[in-house]
Structure 1
Amino acid sequence: MKHAIYLCVATLAAALVYQIPPRFWDGTSWIWLLIAIALLVVVLIPGVGREVNGAQRWIPLVIVNLQPSEVAKAALVLFLASYLRRREDEVRESWTGFIKPLVILGILSVLLLLEPDFGATVIVCGTALGMLFLAGVRLMQFTIVALGLALIGVGMVAFAPYRLQRFLAYQDPWADPFNTGFQLTQSLIAFGRGELAGVGFGQSVQKLFYLPEAHTDFVFSIWAEETGFIGSIGLLLVFIALISRLLWWSRRALSVQRTFESHVFAGIALMLSGQVFVSMGMSMGLLPTKGLTLPMISFGGSSLIVTLCLLAIALRMTRECDKPEPRRPKS
């Protein structure tokens, strides 16, 4: 029932967002970034943020638990797209233009890690670096920053016992199937039960208290169990088609000099592809276990609403790509 309500709210929100022209998002991107930062601070306040499984990532509202990290992802995409439109030459030609957005990225990352939300931090950093790379930053600059962030990530895993435990457990979950490898072994059992065509909708056994977080982090495992290999490949192809289309529109927008729209298309594509890769890879044992939703599939109001609104923005932008580029201030 909650998910049905979220679907209605998300659809209504997306319909409203679709009516707003892209120029509005370009001009107000910095406002959404400030709102996202404020929410990330508020969620850390004791008594305000809701703690679940040791992580304080949600702000309880009337009908939904707001997850600021989802707002931060969308805000960062819009802000970076606007920044890259205004400072495209500076980003390509100097360290200054490249470092400025990295400062914003650092602030968001620190706030996300304080929750802690390592998965969202990885997606945010990956999306931002991907957008900067596609904007044409110098390869040497990009490589130095990417290697630096990678080393920081490795250090955070190595010096955090629970993250290191997860990393070691996913390599051989059957070595400790009732403790550190419990989630992954149960997920793999779900895949095994699905076989070619699945056990049928609603017939999953693993979601009956065997597989933790079956409706959120491991929803793809249940999908694989109920629809089998055929259903799993089908869902993967749908995501590939959506992401490919977004990248196609990014190139199309760039060809008609609509750089803001081009960067937004690319940012949404990068964000979705990162989440899909991590969520599906984690469920199949290709990546360490990490709490991350599968876009538009996992239960969760914040993720569903934000994702549909981003897609509504992208859909509205497809209407604008055949029109002349309006004059927008570079500063």
Structure 2
Amino acid sequence: MTAQVSFPIVNDRLARAYQPMWQPDKVLLGSCAALLLFGLVMIGSAGVDVSQQMFGIPYHFVLRHSVYLVLGLVFAGIISVIPVSVWQNSSPLLLLFAFLLLSIVLVPGIGQEIKGSRRWIDLGPIGFQPSELGKVAMILYVGAYLVRRRDEVISSWSGFLKPVFVLSLMLTLLLLEPDFGSVVVVMGTILGMLFLGGVKPGQFFLAMIAACGAVSIMAFSQSYRVIRLLAFMDPWAPENVYGSGYQLTQSLIAFGRGEWFGVGLGNSMQKLFYLPEAHNDFIVAIIAEELGLVGVLALLFVYAIMIKRIFKIGRLAELKNNLFGGFVCYGIGILFSLQAFINIGVNTGLLPTKGLTLPFISAGGTSLIVCIGLIAIVNRVYGETLAMADAKVAK
């Protein structure tokens, strides 16, 4: 007789928990896919000439972006099988890991310095930006905190000040890089989450006043920031046109050339070495030049659909008592809103020049992977919330 080999029976409940959520939100994923495809096309258009000059091939940036896009989709697939409760339980460890990376990036020889900022860790063929992980870690940590200490947050100052203290530690590390854009985005996102989590209006507005004061002090604490602010106030001044205001003036020229319907896809003049970072931070200017105001408004419309859907999923999760999922969705929605607003504001001259990518559109490795991963988390929240509702109905 041949011996029969027996295998341990996998816990059925655990197996079900780690199944993908095959109830995708079509509006959320459709709008995200539209942004990803549009971004791929515009990076190919905006970066073709710079790529040819720098690397000898016209499509270096679009190929590189495609690799990160595939990595992001793989990462999203992994997230789709991880229960949201895992993120909730592991949020403190993830935050500590983010703090560690934000500290390591400041060490010379480990952190890669580019244009005076030490924001990247060199991993050979790719560069990793710890600040992107820091944004996610703060959202998950505060989401879990709002569930764990909800009564304390609503009723006392201590419940409000504890996450603010943790936030201040992260902002300090970001300022040491320096990464002023991420400071503003993280601060706005976390304060918004606390407000939606039940913080008293008086506490919130005092925190907003303090945050605005801190941002003002930081803005005037460094001479290069003061120069940028002065250039922003009058970019066309003779001393600014070819100095600190150069990027902004070239961006505004691109908007002016685009008019209503643009000069046609691929026909931009500003991408021909006039506008620096045309495929990255200033890609909206190229969109405006090639596709006109109509193209920019269409882009904003798709963003509005996606962000509105994220907030609706968050509200649904909150109503179904999936509080952690709801708060995380709120934080992700605020994060995307702020990043899009700041990037487009910089491109149009509404805000001072600040390096911050446009989610799903700008060329970028870590940012793109993280953005896709965040959408996967939102979709997982949606699937779990529907499953919870169905289970209650079945009972």
TM-score between both structures, scaled by the size of structure 1: 0.96
Please state how far the C-alpha of 1:108 moved relative to its aligned partner: 0.4
* Residue aligning to 2:178: 116
Partner SS state of residue 386, structure 2: coil
* Residue aligning to 1:312: 376
In the alignment, residue 176 of structure 2 is paired with which amino acid? L
Please state how far the C-alpha of 1:222 moved relative to its aligned partner: 1.0
Please give the per-residue CA displacement for 1:49-83, whole angstroms capped at 9, x wherever unaligned. Answer: 11111101000113321001100001111111111
User: After TM superposition, where is structure 1 displaced by more than 2 Å over at least 4 residues in a row?
Assistant: 322-325
Please state how far the C-alpha of 1:148 moved relative to its aligned partner: 1.1
* Residue aligning to 2:101: 39
Partner SS state of residue 253, structure 2: helix
* Residue aligning to 1:94: 156
Please state how far the C-alpha of 1:268 moved relative to its aligned partner: 0.2
Please state how far the C-alpha of 1:103 moved relative to its aligned partner: 1.1
Q: Distance in 1 between matches of 2:379 and 2:388?
A: 17
For the 8 Å contact 1:59–1:65, the answer to whether it is kept is yes
Query: Identity rate of aligned residues, in percent?
Result: 47
Please state how far the C-alpha of 1:159 moved relative to its aligned partner: 2.5
1:192 matches 2:288: no
Q: Distance in 1 between matches of 2:386 and 2:110?
A: 46
For the 8 Å contact 1:64–1:302, the answer to whether it is kept is no
Q: Residues 28-177 of structure 1 correspond to what in structure 2 (within 5 A)?
A: 28-175=90-237, 176-177=240-241
TM-score between both structures, scaled by the size of structure 2: 0.81
Larger radius of gyration: 2
Please give the per-residue CA displacement for 1:140-170, whole angstroms capped at 9, x wherever unaligned. Answer: 1112222112111111112221111111211
Q: Which stretch has the larger CA shift, 133-142 or 277-286?
A: 133-142
In the alignment, residue 236 of structure 1 is paired with which amino acid? L
Q: Distance in 2 between matches of 1:185 and 1:47?
A: 36
Q: Which of the residues 364, 368, 382 maps onto 1:300? A: 364
Q: Which stretch has the larger CA shift, 146-155 or 278-287?
A: 146-155
Partner SS state of residue 20, structure 1: coil
Q: Which of the residues 254, 272, 276 maps onto 2:318? A: 254
* Residue aligning to 1:237: 301
Q: Distance in 2 between matches of 1:208 and 1:38?
A: 40
Q: Which stretch has the larger CA shift, 135-144 or 87-96?
A: 135-144
Report how many aligned residue pairs link the two structures. Answer: 325
Partner SS state of residue 59, structure 1: strand
Q: Distance in 2 between matches of 1:33 and 1:112?
A: 14
In the alignment, residue 183 of structure 1 is paired with which amino acid? Q
Please state how far the C-alpha of 1:99 moved relative to its aligned partner: 0.8
Please state how far the C-alpha of 1:133 moved relative to its aligned partner: 0.4
Please state how far the C-alpha of 1:31 moved relative to its aligned partner: 1.4
* Residue aligning to 1:210: 274
Q: Please, what is the CA RMSD of the aligned residues?
A: 1.1
Please give the per-residue CA displacement for 1:68-123, whole angstroms capped at 9, x wherever unaligned. Answer: 11000011111111110111111010111111101110110000000000000000
For the 8 Å contact 1:187–1:211, the answer to whether it is kept is yes
In the alignment, residue 378 of structure 2 is paired with which amino acid? A
In the alignment, residue 316 of structure 1 is paired with which amino acid? R
Partner SS state of residue 295, structure 1: coil
Q: Distance in 2 between matches of 1:188 and 1:151?
A: 30
Please state how far the C-alpha of 1:200 moved relative to its aligned partner: 2.0
Please state how far the C-alpha of 1:271 moved relative to its aligned partner: 0.3
Please give the per-residue CA displacement for 1:274-325, whole angstroms capped at 9, x wherever unaligned. Answer: 0000000010000011010000111111000001001101111101112338
Q: Which stretch has the larger CA shift, 292-301 or 153-162?
A: 153-162
Partner SS state of residue 324, structure 1: helix
Q: Which of the residues 344, 348, 351 maps onto 1:284? A: 348
